[in-house]
Structure 1
Amino acid sequence: MVFTALLIAFPLGWTLYLSLTDSSGSVRSDSEFIGLQNYGEVLTDFDRFWPAVGRTVYFTGGALAFEMALGMAIALLLWRPFRGEKWVRVAILLPLVATPVAVGMMWSLILDPNIGFANQALSWFGIPAQPWLAGQDTALTTLMFVDIWQWTPMVVLILLAGLTSLSDEPDEAARVDGASAWQRFWYVTFPLVMPVFITAILLRGIDALKTFDILYATKGKGGGSFHEVETLNVYAYGLSFDYNDYGMSSAVLIIFFMMIVGCIWLLTARKKRSNR
């Protein structure tokens, strides 16, 4: 526990210290203590910081909503035994095998506006070609779809474990009382699995907030020419490694860290109420 605490405390403390200085060029170069000046500049940056916050919220919220809905639906389908269920479960988990960078490169080829299979498939139905990742208005939504494709199996795995642990007696009692399939799910199954559902939201939500690999692998520096997929992670990375402005990037990371802690606190409080 002491080792883990130090492992977390030292990088966090160092980042906090850098955020209060004008460190740039190199973290070993001389820097001056400037207090909260970096935070003031970040919070008043309406050109890059706040749009990045909006993209982060949009990407995380959209991906999480679809992943939870699809994950619950697929978990319910896999809940009861059926022929070939082992092969189906293996197939569903395949997207988790590949690394995010490899997934990003694969989908870049599939969604290429000129040679990609996606636009070729659309042409079979008379649908015009779409810009997908190349479009300023479509890139972030497209990458949200890629994230949903890769990480929905993780949600399925968590929810399926929760469903499998439930007793059959409440569902059978509701069935005897004449409840429909939807009523049994909404009033019996879902409340019982709610603690696991919130745990899945917590784990997947934190992971989605930190998404960087797919965004950077597909769009590169700055999240694209028009910063169309620049989330807070990509923005902080650019400040650190493109502009070597470590003080400013550390301030962004500390603000982002506080946002994540706030989300964890809200979800944990909601989980405690569900357990009661």
Structure 2
Amino acid sequence: MAVIASTPSSSTDTSAWTRWANIHRKWLFAAPAMVFVGALIIFPLAWTLYLSLTDAEGSVRAESEFIGFANYLEVLSDTDRFWPAVLRTVGFTGVALFFEVVLGMAVALLLWRPFRGEKWVRVAILMPLVATPVAVGMMWRLIFDPNIGMANQLLGWIGIGPQPWLAGQHSALPTTIFIDIWQWTPMVVLILLAGLTSLSNEPDEAARVDGANAWQRFRHITLPLLMPTVIVAILLRGIDALKTFDILYATKGRGGGSFHEVETLNVYAYGLSFDYNEYGISSTVLIIFFLIIIGSMWALTSRRKKAAR
């Protein structure tokens, strides 16, 4: 009976492959998920980029012509809707992020030290995160209703006349910023509180022995040590605030209101796509918006690396 013996070359190849797979096993196990997630990201982005270079409208399956960068020139020269939407997006993100970080830092410092009933306080602070943004928007829409809203009733009890809140052309954007601050400040609190609990007590105790007061210890010790965590909070919340859509649409509806008072880039692109079926123009707005988000991420990441040094 013939016996087939494995050749030295085949066994060597097998052992070499086994060693390589063992060294790179973490990438091999993660590869299927990475390919799947990459496909979910790359295909929609590539399709949106293609649509932005065409005159697609009416239906994405309708025939369209390649027009190059004509859509980009049209969008970037639009001073009636596009650039005001850019300013609202930047203003909404900047103001909301500033107050969320400041208030989040203050609340995190209050919760840093243990006290009686702190678990109940933490649960109460985190309650806004439980509800979905659409539900939060609808709730505050009822509270700020000019006629039956609780907000104007409370103002009436202290002698202040009713305010338009979400119905006003100039008060709608600040009101939606307030709603965003109310819901998402707890997220910043969680991130900063996690960073505070990881800090060592030795530098603070040494400064306390040297006679430094609470503000001096916070400014020169706690804040510099916490800065990498602060940058992470700004990065995560800032990118999310840039993409805010649900609260704005739930409170003001189509077009960000009758005068587009809360129309950000997300709301503007949504209206172009689903209200007017101008897929080429809306894809152009989304690509520009994507570049703004990528630029913001790059700037904040660079700042985080500098703070970590």
Mark yes or no: TM-score above 0.5. Answer: yes
Q: Is residue 76 of structure 1 aligned with residue 109 of structure 2?
A: yes
Q: Which residue of 2 aligns with 1:117?
A: 150
Where does 1:191-270 land on structure 2 (aligned, <5 Å)? 191-270=224-303
> Where does residue 154 of structure 1 map in the other structure?
187
Alpha-carbon distance between aligned partners in 2 of 1:7 and 1:176, rounded to the nearest angstrom: 56
TM-score (norm 1): 0.99
Work out the CA distance in 2 between the residues paired with 1:73 and 1:79. Answer: 10
Q: Does 1:91 align with 2:153?
A: no
| Deviations, residues 205-238 of structure 1 (Å, cap 9, x unaligned) | 0000000001111111110000000000000000
Q: Deviations over 1:30-50 (max 9, x none)?
A: 111000000000000000000
Matched with 2:218 is 185
CA distance in 2, matches of 1:43, 1:213: 25
Q: For 1:81, what is the secondary structure of its paired residue?
A: coil
Report the equivalent of 2:3. none
SS in 2 for 1:208: helix
CA distance in structure 2 between the aligned counterparts of 1:79 and 1:218, rounded to whole angstroms = 35
Instruction: State the one-letter code of the partner of 1:261.
Output: I
Give the structure 1 partner of residue 89 of structure 2. 56
Shift of the alpha carbon at 1:121?
0.5
The residue identity in structure 2 corresponding to 1:137 is H
Unaligned runs of 5+ in 2: 1-33
The one-letter code sitting in structure 2 at the alignment partner of 1:32 is E
Instruction: Determine helix, strand or coil for the equivalent of 2:156.
Output: helix
Question: Deviation at 1:4?
Answer: 1.7
* 1:42 partner letter: V
Cα distance per residue 1:63-118 (max 9 Å; x no partner): 00000000000000000000000000000000000000100010011011111110
1:128 alignment partner AA: G
Deviation at 1:15, TM superposition (A): 0.4
Deviations 1:142-197 (A, max 9, x none): 00000000000000000000000001001001101110100000100000010000
- The code of the aligned residue for 1:156 comes to V
Q: Return the alpha-carbon distance in structure 1 between the equivalents of residues 73 and 211 of structure 2.
A: 61
The gaps in structure 1 that reach 5 residues or longer are none
Q: Distance in 2 between matches of 1:253 and 1:56?
A: 13
How far did 1:124 drift?
1.1
Percent identity between the aligned chains?
A: 78
The list of structure 1 runs, each at least 4 consecutive aligned residues, that deviate by more than 2 angstroms after superposition, is none
Quote how far apart the aligned CAs of 1:2 are: 1.9
**Higher relative CO (CA 8 A, sep ≥ 6), structure 1 or 2?**
1
Map of 1:139 onto structure 2: 172
- Report how many residues are paired: 276
The structural deviation recorded for 1:7 is: 1.4
SS of 1:238's equivalent in the other structure is: helix
C-alpha RMSD over aligned residues? 0.5
Report what 2:53 is aligned to.
20
Structure with bigger gyration radius: 2
Q: Name the SS of the counterpart of 1:113 in structure 2.
A: coil
Q: Please give the secondary structure, in 2, of the residue aligned with 1:55.
A: helix
Provide the rounded CA distance (Å) in 1 between the counterparts of 2:141 and 2:250.
9
SS of the aligned residue for 2:68 comes to: coil
